[in-house]
Structure 1
Amino acid sequence: MNVAPLLSLMIWLPALGALVVAVLPRERVAAQRSVSMSAALLTLVAALGVVFFFDPAHAGFQLVESVAWIPSWGISYTVSVDGISLWLVVLTAFLTPVALAASWGTVERQERAFHALVLLLASGLFGVFTAQDMLLFYMFFEFTLVPTALLIGIWGGTERRYAAIKFFAYTFTGSVFLLLGIIGLYLLHGQATGVYTFDIATILASLQLGTLQLNPAAERLIFGLFFIGFAVKTPIWPFHTWMTTAHAAAPSSGAIDIVGLLIKIGAYGLIRYTIQLFPATAAWAAPAISVLAVIGVLYAAWIAYQQTDMKRLLAYASVSHLGLIVLGMFALNPQGIAGSVAHMVNSALTTGALFLVVGMLVARRGSRELKSYGGLWKSTPVLGNLTLILVLGSIGLPGLNGFVSEFAVLQGAWRSPGLGWRYALPALLGAVLAAVYLLHMYRMAFMGDAPPELAQAPDVRPRELALLIIMATPVVVFGLYPNLLFGPMQQSATQIAGGALQYLASR
């Protein structure tokens, strides 16, 4: 179907907005906000256009835009979407204006630079989720490091510089393995077929048709390089230590992008590259990787319960959610993969919104320590009710978004011939522990007697109310109408799982 270049508009509109914001005079704060929000909202319109033209009955790449870049090296600017990347693209477009609006009045210095970096991060994320050329994917993948490290290092908390350096060092090191895997696959494809290309669709077709046949050792080596690069970025336990430090130091408004989106690109890469390209090796490695995932679910949930700092608690909650996400994808069946993608979206919404709530509480009390709070329900009932919806969505209450995605992940793990109940039951325990630590946080902050400093704390302001309603709406909608989320991804999830299921059936 010939439509406008919606994907390119999504990728480059935020970058253009960042450029315009950067050249505006420093003192023109209103103009900076208007330009950045306009760019974000226009991008959201383009993303909704992608949803409109997307065909859920088609499993392959859609809305493909391709321009030869360096044809002699097989490099092209090729972008597309499928059922796996569609909702991640929409999520990026949805959270970017929320992050910008949340920064108004909370970013006290260099607001112009903050807006420009958030927009640049959005451009990088759109590029990651739509790039069909592996080298283009890698360039966007690496580009996201720069605005993220600057957001943490300039506007973060007391440990911001240490957190920014640790984030950059960890993820850049992991990316070196990813680059080696990309180059290795490029060379192997060229040697086998005579066509040197970075186009993932071409390489996938060669693997499926047998024109590119990798011996088990070579395939496992390439798989391992890709896996390490994405495992660090996801991050899977025990590569998670950079994430908890970065999340705790990140600015509350910028954290919604970092928590909601950045850590999802590693999980997305695991599906797009390790599972889609190497299903047999993914099936071979699934039990070991799933052990790491289950450990991450349980370990992070237990550590989260021990935290007194609300941002650190939510950071460990993110690690636990990511364990479930990885378990679902390596169940290697349509239920698990679809549940994994849905949980990426749902956890981004709930945990990102809870980070915003923490920022609102800190604005009232000046502390992230749970012991500094209590009794907020009496003075801030609207904030208390909206926060409760987000907490219940995060712990998987039936009728809210977290339940449907967690159920799909656990169902996929239980039905997987490579995993089964031995993996699903411990993961279910982790989901139960999520209720323990999040309800504990809620009780400590909103129940009991309020300290004198919070007895007259103001309830949500109009901008805060609008932000929380915007974030809570999909939590309820996706919980009541889960097929809105699952429907468009079913064909792609089935296609990706097909190779692994065929290998498992033949064993």
Structure 2
Amino acid sequence: MNNVLGFPILTLVTFLPTLGAVLIALFLKKEQSKAIKYSAFAVAFIDFLVSVPLWFYYSPGTWKMQFQEAHDWIPSLGVKYAVGIDGISLLLILLTTLLGFIAILSSFKAIKEREKEYYVLLLLLQTGMMGVFVAEDFFLFYVFWEVMLVPMYFLIGVWGGPRKLYAAIKFFLYTLAGSVLMLVAILALYFYNHQVTGVWTFNIQAYHQLAPYIAANAGKTFQYLITLAFFIGFAIKVPMFPFHTWLPDAHVEAPTAGSVILAGVLLKMGTYGFIRFLLPILPDATKVFLPYFVFLAIVGIIYGALVALVQKDMKKLVAYSSVSHLGLCMLGVFALNPNGINGAIIQMINHGVSTGALFLIVGIVYERKHTRMISEYGGLSKIMPIYAVIFMLMTLSSIGLPGLNGFIGEFTILAGAFQAKPIWAIIATSGMVLGAAYMLWLYQRVMFNKVSDENVELNKKGILSDLNGREIAYFMPLVIAAFWIGLYPKPFFKILEKPVNHLVEQVQPDFFKREQVKFDLNKVKPVVHEGGEEEHE
């Protein structure tokens, strides 16, 4: 086991929120509102602090899993409790724990009913999400994937907006349908692995090692069906066009914290599934379908941006922007080269930071005025200046302004896409231009123009007021992250380098041989012309 810390830190990070949820459920009464809120926040914040050493003790010099733990769970089926992380999952874990405590802190004023159940479900949801990113066993991965559904269903269905039941059921059914297909694919690999090796195991690394044998010996129909099953299962979660229709409803009806977690972490589980499972286990079959997958990713980029442009509801606009942004991430993944995949992972983190912040921004004015309609606002920069500054920063982050995080991810993805096929990058760029249009249009409508008499009156009454200390506090980590990634992304790329290069070698074994073109300038001989001018040949 590769665990430099010597104690089960991944188990602690994963199950600490569940322990906190159980203690809150057992020992705090529903009337103890403050105790429930602060206890939930303390648990989530401690979970974040416990996850931070992973960043400092992670060794970027290898692609292999680190901080591993493995224990027999169901020996007769070959199921183990096996966890571990590489650079890809490390970044997603840190994003999850960061957004976890921010989501809880943002709920203090917004949630007034059934507070105990709400915070318990948020903590349980965090365990489910963490488990997906640390699991090294397919059975364990699937358990966490399904466990995550239940808290999210209730968060939308109980604390959501007017159409909350419709949105919750739609979210649940879509995701469950994808999960069933994914389960069929997992079981097919499980039995095929036993047929080939004689070993019953759900170990993900074992399936990675089996990939060349599957490509060479398994029937094409078998490979294609499993590939499509995985694709649909993960594409629903991303969500990719045309599997995206559950997302706008879920986002609009979910409470603010639910939207933050949904956009910030849950959608990344789909892209993570492509990177961790589909590409390394079924690379040849994936390449067969690659033109169709890329087509859907590009359609998602442009479609999401076009639909966002015509939205009148702020939250729905941000929701459709997610379809566009995640389409760009998927384009990076399907570029099948280091630039594309590195950019996709960085952009997944960026989207969690920027779009998570945008949902918080929408939630703040909704708490004050109880409407998300863009037409109801205008001139807020005059009465909410701090809010206007943070809104502007996150708008610029979302559209990819140099110096902020979005630029790094988008530029790297486009470099990877151009390296794969220039036309992909050219078309994707049009979606990014549309992205700048809808975000700046939103900001201009909400922040400038004339302040309505109603909003002036609400401001005087202290209702439509600027950010308070609590709100500034939960924005600060996101602002810092946006500038850190935008100005100094080197540590993030260093952490991703080895696992991403290894993934590319699994998918395209000859990639680095083809790309390794070196120019030795010392061997270039200058040619001297009569006039004394030098020309290098």
1:153 and 2:157 equivalent? yes
Residue in 2 that maps onto 1:468: 475
Residue in 2 that maps onto 1:478: 485
CA distance in 2, matches of 1:166, 1:503: 43
- The answer on whether the counterparts of 1:192 and 1:212 sit within 8 Å (CA) in structure 2 is no
- The answer on whether the counterparts of 1:20 and 1:35 sit within 8 Å (CA) in structure 2 is no
Residue in 1 that maps onto 2:534: none
Residue in 1 that maps onto 2:17: 14
CA distance in 1, matches of 2:5, 2:491: 25
> Residue 40 of structure 2 is aligned with which of 36, 43, 53?
36
CA distance in 2, matches of 1:36, 1:2: 27
CA distance in 1, matches of 2:225, 2:508: 21
CA distance in 1, matches of 2:82, 2:363: 39
- The answer on whether the counterparts of 1:386 and 1:469 sit within 8 Å (CA) in structure 2 is no
Aligned residue type for 1:341: I
- The answer on whether the counterparts of 2:210 and 2:281 sit within 8 Å (CA) in structure 1 is no
Residue in 1 that maps onto 2:373: 369
Question: Any residues of structure 2 matched to 1:122-161 within 5 Å, and which?
Answer: 122-161=126-165
**How much has 1:208 moved relative to structure 2?**
4.6
Aligned residue type for 1:342: I
**How much has 1:209 moved relative to structure 2?**
7.2
Task: Report runs of 4+ in structure 1 exceeding 6 Å deviation.
Answer: 209-212, 503-506
Residue in 2 that maps onto 1:189: 193
Aligned residue type for 1:402: G
Matched residue SS, 1:384: helix
Residue in 2 that maps onto 1:51: 55
- The answer on whether the counterparts of 2:211 and 2:280 sit within 8 Å (CA) in structure 1 is no
Question: Any residues of structure 2 matched to 1:446-465 within 5 Å, and which?
Answer: 446-455=447-456, 456=459, 457-465=464-472
Matched residue SS, 2:106: helix
Question: Any residues of structure 2 matched to 1:237-252 within 5 Å, and which?
Answer: 237-252=241-256
User: Rg larger in 1 or in 2?
Assistant: 2
Aligned residue type for 1:18: A
- The answer on whether the counterparts of 2:175 and 2:237 sit within 8 Å (CA) in structure 1 is yes
Question: Any residues of structure 2 matched to 1:75-154 within 5 Å, and which?
Answer: 75-154=79-158
Aligned residue type for 1:62: Q
Matched residue SS, 1:196: coil
Matched residue SS, 2:242: coil
Q: Give the aligned CA root-mean-square deviation in angstroms.
A: 1.5
1:346 and 2:350 equivalent? yes
**How much has 1:216 moved relative to structure 2?**
2.9
Residue in 2 that maps onto 1:284: 288
CA distance in 1, matches of 2:11, 2:353: 25
Question: Any residues of structure 2 matched to 1:143-222 within 5 Å, and which?
Answer: 143-208=147-212, 213-222=217-226
- The answer on whether the counterparts of 2:170 and 2:246 sit within 8 Å (CA) in structure 1 is yes
Aligned residue type for 1:422: I
Q: Deviations over 1:122-145 (max 9, x none)?
A: 000000001010011011001111
**How much has 1:90 moved relative to structure 2?**
0.5
- The answer on whether the counterparts of 1:133 and 1:198 sit within 8 Å (CA) in structure 2 is yes
**How much has 1:499 moved relative to structure 2?**
2.6
Matched residue SS, 1:332: coil
Which ranges in structure 2 are unaligned for 5 or more consecutive residues? 515-537
1:299 and 2:303 equivalent? yes
Residue in 1 that maps onto 2:271: 267
Q: Deviations over 1:72-117 (max 9, x none)?
A: 2110000110111110011001000000000001101011111111
Residue in 1 that maps onto 2:428: 427
Residue in 2 that maps onto 1:330: 334
CA distance in 1, matches of 2:86, 2:231: 21
Distance change in 2, residues 1:191/1:431 (3 Å): same
**How much has 1:484 moved relative to structure 2?**
2.4
- The answer on whether the counterparts of 1:333 and 1:498 sit within 8 Å (CA) in structure 2 is no
Matched residue SS, 1:77: strand
CA distance in 2, matches of 1:2, 1:320: 40
Moved more, 38-47 or 353-362: 38-47
Residue in 1 that maps onto 2:519: none
Residue in 2 that maps onto 1:68: 72
**How much has 1:22 moved relative to structure 2?**
1.4
CA distance in 2, matches of 1:486, 1:21: 39
Matched residue SS, 1:103: coil
CA distance in 2, matches of 1:211, 1:144: 32
Residue in 1 that maps onto 2:517: none
CA distance in 2, matches of 1:402, 1:150: 32
CA distance in 1, matches of 2:275, 2:251: 24
- The answer on whether the counterparts of 1:181 and 1:226 sit within 8 Å (CA) in structure 2 is yes
- The answer on whether the counterparts of 1:236 and 1:293 sit within 8 Å (CA) in structure 2 is yes
CA distance in 1, matches of 2:150, 2:315: 22
- The answer on whether the counterparts of 1:178 and 1:225 sit within 8 Å (CA) in structure 2 is yes
CA distance in 1, matches of 2:381, 2:505: 50
**How much has 1:263 moved relative to structure 2?**
1.1
Aligned residue type for 2:448: M
CA distance in 1, matches of 2:247, 2:143: 21
Q: Which has the higher contact order (CA 8 A, sep 6+)?
A: 1
**How much has 1:410 moved relative to structure 2?**
0.8
**How much has 1:495 moved relative to structure 2?**
0.6
Aligned residue type for 2:401: L
**How much has 1:284 moved relative to structure 2?**
2.1
CA distance in 1, matches of 2:227, 2:214: 18
**How much has 1:71 moved relative to structure 2?**
1.5
Residue in 2 that maps onto 1:438: 439
CA distance in 1, matches of 2:221, 2:177: 23
Aligned residue type for 1:405: G
CA distance in 1, matches of 2:405, 2:217: 41
* Count of aligned residue pairs for this structure pair: 503
- The answer on whether the counterparts of 2:215 and 2:284 sit within 8 Å (CA) in structure 1 is no
Distance change in 2, residues 1:224/1:28 (3 Å): same
CA distance in 2, matches of 1:313, 1:503: 42
Aligned residue type for 1:356: L
Matched residue SS, 1:158: coil
CA distance in 2, matches of 1:263, 1:168: 14
Residue in 2 that maps onto 1:5: 8
- The answer on whether the counterparts of 1:282 and 1:500 sit within 8 Å (CA) in structure 2 is no
Moved more, 398-407 or 250-259: 250-259
CA distance in 1, matches of 2:439, 2:291: 29
Aligned residue type for 1:160: K
Matched residue SS, 1:63: strand
Which ranges in structure 1 are unaligned for 5 or more consecutive residues? none
Residue in 1 that maps onto 2:240: 236
Residue in 2 that maps onto 1:491: 498
